Amino acid sequence: MLFRSMNKKTLLALLCCSALALTACNDDDQDQKTSVDQVTEPTLISFAKLPVETYAIGPDSGNAVSGGNGIYPPFKGQPVQGFSAALKNEDGSYMAMSDNGFGTQDNSADYLLRIYKIKTDFRTKNKGTGQVSVQSFIQLRDPNKRIPFEIVNGNTSERLLTGADFDPESMQRAADGSYWIGDEFGPYLLHFSAEGVLLDAPIGLPNPLDPAQELRSPQNQFNKANINFVEPLVQRSGGFEGMAISPDDKYLYPLLEKPLLNDATGQLLISQFDIQKKSYTGQYYWFALNSKATNIGDFQLFSNKDGIIIERDASQNNLGGYKKLIRVTLTEPKQMVVREDLLDLIKIANPNLLYGTAREGDIGTGQVFAFPFETIEDVIIENGTTLTVLNDNNFPGSSGRNAKLADDNEIIQIRLPKALF
């Protein structure tokens, strides 16, 4: 098992880091609160990036991957990468959750699942370095043995979770401070304490058309163990890529990344989950993909009915790619949500050239800024006119900004010409 080679001192350091909550200053809470600049088109107002080769304490990793873009294993510690979900903290910092690590169940057994606390010094028109610092992390783990199937570190006391166990892709924080995480392998909903301890067994997704049956993916662990086998209808890597929470903290709305295998209409399932009852309500909605899109990247609500979905194709390093934020409204259950284009992430005004000095081969860094990444997976609604967007850099394989270089984790803030609310 992974931690047999780790001594008690190292393991203690890991868990101590996961409990840290370093203080960040409120007066750095960026220009989105203080600037009153009006814009006539979606405009880049802040930029920051975390370098691709950023590592945290932990066992060396990447033993089952070949690497790429000039970065090769073994990696010294745990790469801080692949931000698949992000939340804003009251102190202006962010909680950024990495995905399963290196892309598959088979190659990610040495990647530890964590939620990192990061602090951004955004580069704006007036100030900032554009740097991102990693302050601490929450280590996801199952010491109380809530998971009913085998996991990589199942024979250790802390049962630290790895990318071979789950693929966390979406996240919300409940009113009590606990975290709800949407997984792709099951797909499952996972409920963790504020300290990262799994509180309940993984919750499967009922088929809305046949509630007695679960919707499962080809990676579902129960199917692999031939336990109550159900023919997979969720596509591989098609689980809970996005998940909104209602502002009243009553409901989660996990959203599948791709259409079901038996669906040729390009519709994605949005399910309603009651947080207090810890069960699905049976209500659901459909989101119709644009014909140019292949999947979604995130889903957030700014009212109990209105929100934003990231919609994208599979391209990278292509200024002709399809990467958009879509405004949606939940109407009647079992019906299609209303959708409206909000902004094009390939065409963002950048009058202040906030990217900084471009490297040879960088694209989309000039007066028209682009976010040309395959996996754009995080949107945070800062206020009615400001959105924060992050990419998942698929460490070290993606090369969206530069065809010859591995992507950093970029964090941008966009000012809208018309307020959402």
Confidence grade of residue 11 (pLDDT, cut at 50, 70, 90) = low
E strand or H helix that includes residue 411 = strand 409-415
Locate 218 and state its tokens. 């080809």
CATH code of the domain in which 276 resides: 2.115.10
Q: Would the pLDDT of 190 be above 90?
A: yes
Q: What is the DSSP string of 63-118?
A: TT---BTTB-SSBSSEE---EEEEEE-TTS-EEEEE-SSSSSSTT-TT-B-EEEEE
Sign for the CA dihedral angle at 342, 348, 350, 355 comes to positive
What's the average model confidence in pLDDT over 179-205? 98
Tell me what the pLDDT averaged over the chain comes to. 93
Q: What is the pLDDT of residue 262?
A: 84
Least confident of 78-82, 275-279, 320-324: 78-82
* Segment 119-175, tens digit of pLDDT: 999 999 999 999 999 999 999 999 999 999 999 999 999 999 999 999 999 999 999
Tell me what percent of the residues of the chain surpass a pLDDT of 70.
Answer: 91
- Residue 327 located in a structural domain: yes
Residue of 2, 44, 147 lying closest to 389 (CA atoms)? 44
pTM: 0.93
Q: What is the pLDDT of residue 37?
A: 80
Question: Order of strands, edge to edge, in the sheet holding 251-256?
Answer: 240-245, 251-256, 267-274, 279-288
Locate 252 and state its tokens. 């989660």
Pairwise pLDDT comparison (14 vs 81), residue with the higher score: 81
CA distance 68 to 381: 33
What's the average model confidence in pLDDT over 18-27? 43
Question: Order of strands, edge to edge, in the sheet holding 323-329?
Answer: 295-301, 306-312, 323-329, 338-344
- Residue 247 located in a structural domain: yes
What's the average model confidence in pLDDT over 96-122? 97
What's the average model confidence in pLDDT over 411-419? 98
Q: What is the DSSP string of 161-190?
A: -BTTT--EEEEEE-TTS-EEEEESSS-EEE
Confidence grade of residue 202 (pLDDT, cut at 50, 70, 90) = very high
Residue of 169, 206, 164, 172 lying closest to 192 (CA atoms)? 172
Distance of CA 226 to the CA centre of its chain: 30
- Residue 220 located in a structural domain: yes
Q: How many domains does the chain have?
A: 1
- Residue 71 located in a structural domain: yes
Confidence grade of residue 18 (pLDDT, cut at 50, 70, 90) = low
* Segment 23-78, tens digit of pLDDT: 334 444 544 544 458 999 999 999 999 999 999 999 999 999 999 999 999 999 99
Domain that holds residue 80: 43-415
Least confident of 29-38, 172-181, 316-325: 29-38
- Residue 241 located in a structural domain: yes
Least confident of 189-203, 217-231, 291-305, 369-383: 217-231
Rounded to 5 degrees, what angle do the CA atoms 270, 216, 86 make? 50
Q: Would the pLDDT of 82 be above 90?
A: no
- Residue 125 located in a structural domain: yes
- Residue 324 located in a structural domain: yes
Q: What is the largest CA-CA distance in the chain?
A: 59
181 burial type by CB count under 10 A (0-12 exposed, 13-18 middle, 19+ buried):
buried
Tell me what percent of the residues of the chain surpass a pLDDT of 90.
Answer: 88
- Residue 11 located in a structural domain: no
Residue of 56, 125, 79 lying closest to 396 (CA atoms)? 79
Pairwise pLDDT comparison (103 vs 403), residue with the higher score: 403
CB 118 within 8 A of CB 139: no
* Segment 93-104, tens digit of pLDDT: 999 999 999 999
